Structure 1
Amino acid sequence: MSDEELHSVRIHLDRLLAERGMTLTELSAQVGITVVNLSILKNGRAKAIRFSTLSRICEVLDCQPGDLITHDPSNGPG
C-alpha cells in the first residue's frame, strides 16, 4: 500500500470554520500550529493528527472530535 493511498476519513474543518466565522489563519494562531499544517488537514491530505492538536482544535472551535472527523466507507478506496 502506498503513502498516497486513499482513505475514508473525512475532515470537516471548512464547515466548522464557516459556522464560527473564523479563518484558517485565526485558527492557526489560536491552536499553535502552522497554516500549512492546518491546510493539509483541511484538504484531507494529513496522514495523522496528534491527540493534543485535535484537543486544541476542538477547544478553540467548541466542538467534539466527531464534529470534525467522520468515517465514510462509501467514499473510501474501492
Structure 2
Amino acid sequence: MSPAEAENTGIHCRLDELLVERGMTLTELSGLVGVSVVNLSVLKNDRARAIRYSTLEAICRVLDCQVGDLLVVSD
C-alpha cells in the first residue's frame, strides 16, 4: 500500500467547490475563519488527518453551509 492509499480515509472535502460557488478565495476564508491558508489547503486537498469541531463550525458559518455540505463520504 502506498502512502497516498494509507492516508485515504474515504472522506472528501468539498471546500474548493464551496469557495467557487461563493466567489471566495482560500485567503479570504482564512482571514474570516482565523485558520492559516496552509491548514485550509491541507483540508481542501483531502490530506487532513483531523479537524477541530470549532474549525468546522467556523468554516460552515462563514460559508453558510452544513458539515455534510463540506465533508462527504467518497466511494
TM-score normalised by L of structure 1? 0.87
Q: Alpha-carbon deviation of 1:20? A: 0.2
* 1:1-78 correspondence runs (5 A): 5=6, 6-72=8-74, 74=75
Q: Which deviations, in whole Å up to 9, do the C-alpha atoms of 1:10-50 show, x marking residues without a partner?
A: 00000000000000000000000100000000000000110
Q: Cα RMSD between the aligned structures?
A: 1.7
TM-score scaled by length of structure 2: 0.90
Cα distance per residue 1:47-78 (max 9 Å; x no partner): 01100000000000000000000012x2xxxx
Structure 2's unaligned 5+ residue stretches are none
**Greater RCO (Cα-Cα under 8 Å, separation 6 or more):** 1
In the TM superposition, residue 7 of structure 1 has moved relative to its aligned partner by 1.4
Aligned residue pairs: how many? 73
Identity of aligned residues (%): 59
Q: Following TM superposition, where does structure 1 have runs of at least 4 consecutive aligned residues deviating by more than 6 angstroms?
A: none
